[in-house]
Structure 1
Amino acid sequence: MMTKKMIIKIGGSTTTQLTPAFFDTLKHWQKLGYQIAIVHGGGNVISDLMSQLNEPVEKINGIRFTTQKGIDITKMALLGQVQPSLIESFRQNGVPAIGLNAGSNQLLTGHVLDQDTYGYVGTIHQVNTQLIQKMWQQNLIPIIAPLAITNEGQWLNVNADTAASAIAKYLKADKLYLLTDVSGIKVSGNILQQLTPKMALELKKSHIITGGMIPKVNSALHAVQLGVHHVHITDTVTQPGTVVTL
């Protein structure tokens, strides 16, 4: 049986996505020989915590402007709330998982995107794939927070779709699922079953792909151009949604 690798990005408001069908699908994929890693977001939890701690929430081009205090709050939200509850859901559903973050043996190394514009927001340029492989050897699903650390030790906030695409690229994953709140990309009311780079360009020009879908589509295109075979944009692992391929 050939091992295949799959990365699944789930949103922060994931309770709706983590249905019994979600876990059954994961178990089914594991039986088929897939090694799975999860990258989780947490936008709502971060925003709530920021409001409570009087840190302004500001988004530029769909990216959260992040100060040093913002980084501290993001870590609290992702590593203190979102990740532990996810690991617990996996445990309750009989899927052994382990939480990992950028600080786990240099899991995700990154650099600042554009400090003047976004503050401490980064992009990933190195992934400790051996650590993830080790978890897989122990039949654990790594659950990874979308944060990176620079070579100098500065923590960075990373868009979860971007983080999932980077991890998929470095692991040479076969499939990447970017779970979102819509069942795929809609064109005149119908879900687009397939999306190529050329089609994406046209749909962006004609403003059919807009808002938060833009970074998602860009991440998906980036991933397929770097060798990930199929990227699914969907709201559930049980439906293929829109499949991005070359």
Structure 2
Amino acid sequence: MTQHTPLVIKLGGALLESNQDLAALFTTLNTFINEVKRPLVLVHGGGVLVDNQLKAMGLTSTKKDGLRVTPPEHIGVITGALAGTANKLLLAQAITHGVSSVGLCLGDGGLCRVSQLDPELGSVGQIEGGDATLISSLLSGGFMPIVSSIGITFDGQLMNVNADQAGTAIAEVLNADLVMLSDVSGILDGERALINELTEDRALTLMEQGVITDGMAVKVKAALQATKKLGKPVAVGSWRNPEQLLSLLAGESEFGTRISH
């Protein structure tokens, strides 16, 4: 990872439920920004907040192949949870920790192009890179964009996009390094042991064996796509250990899993 190459960090897991974990993460990010001085982009989902909001409204949610089935009557609720509550919780933490930030979604400035992935999934988006002009301008101005995984199609339809896929698309737009953070330490093998280095061949084998499934399979597939497009590894790790996070962001392989082509 070079000093001036942008770094895209995808945030996931139960992070948004814990102010303590959020504060620890942003303390670390502030240190990273001040010491390394690299352009930084956060990309996030917020599945826990979505689940809570749907439940509060008496709506049930299902998943198919690790992706949330999103009927049209759910997309407004999901947009509010992700582009609204989740995005502004992260923005509030950035402000509290002295990080100049701007809250965005995938549609702002044409950052990513989104279309419907599969009619059976409803308002779930397929994503590819778009226009980097706005986000590059923000980075040049010293801002950290915080991007929610809500996309907008060319005909104005709101779409729920998997956040791992969103992070991958934004990294491709910026030719950035990519780190995916969740509440797990990385990719685990069949014995529940951490895999420090994961190649495409081994990843496909583990998916065929049912070791990597559901949401983790979506994450690994997105990471593999990114390694091919970017020509460099993607790191997968945890936000739970801020003392290790700087090492993970710096590319040290003993923390998390480095996925390569």
Alignment TM-score, normalising by the size of structure 1: 0.91
Kindly state the Cα deviation for residue 61 of structure 1 after the two structures are TM-superposed.
Answer: 1.3
How far apart, CA to CA, are the structure 2 residues paired with 1:228 and 1:30? 27
- More divergent stretch after superposition (137-146 vs 96-105): 96-105
Q: For 1:95, what is the secondary structure of its paired residue?
A: coil
- 1:23-62 to 2 correspondences below 5 Å: 23-29=27-33, 31-62=35-66
Preserved CA contact (<8 Å) 2:30 2:97 = no
Matched, 1:79 2:83: yes
Q: Which of 124, 132, 141 matches 1:138?
A: 141
Kindly state the Cα deviation for residue 46 of structure 1 after the two structures are TM-superposed.
Answer: 0.9
How far apart, CA to CA, are the structure 1 residues paired with 2:182 and 2:85? 20
Over the residues paired in the alignment, what is the CA RMSD in angstroms?
1.9
**2:101: which partner in 1?**
97
How far apart, CA to CA, are the structure 2 residues paired with 1:199 and 1:69? 40
For residues 10-55 of structure 1, the C-alpha deviation after alignment (integer angstroms, 9 at most, x for no partner) is 1163236534355334532554242110001111111111122232
Q: For 1:39, what is the secondary structure of its paired residue?
A: strand
- More divergent stretch after superposition (79-88 vs 20-29): 20-29
**2:113: which partner in 1?**
109
Kindly state the Cα deviation for residue 99 of structure 1 after the two structures are TM-superposed.
Answer: 0.2
Distance 1:51 1:171, change over 3 A: same
Preserved CA contact (<8 Å) 2:111 2:170 = no
More helix by share: 2
Amino acid at match of 1:180: S
How far apart, CA to CA, are the structure 2 residues paired with 1:125 and 1:58? 25
Which runs of structure 1 show a deviation greater than 4 angstroms over 4 or more consecutive aligned residues? none
Q: Which of 169, 185, 188 matches 2:187?
A: 185
How far apart, CA to CA, are the structure 2 residues paired with 1:70 and 1:201? 33
User: What is the percent sequence identity of the aligned residues?
Assistant: 31
**1:242: which partner in 2?**
257
The unaligned stretches of length 5 or more in structure 2 are: 240-244, 249-254
How far apart, CA to CA, are the structure 1 residues paired with 2:53 and 2:220? 28
Alignment TM-score, normalising by the size of structure 2: 0.86
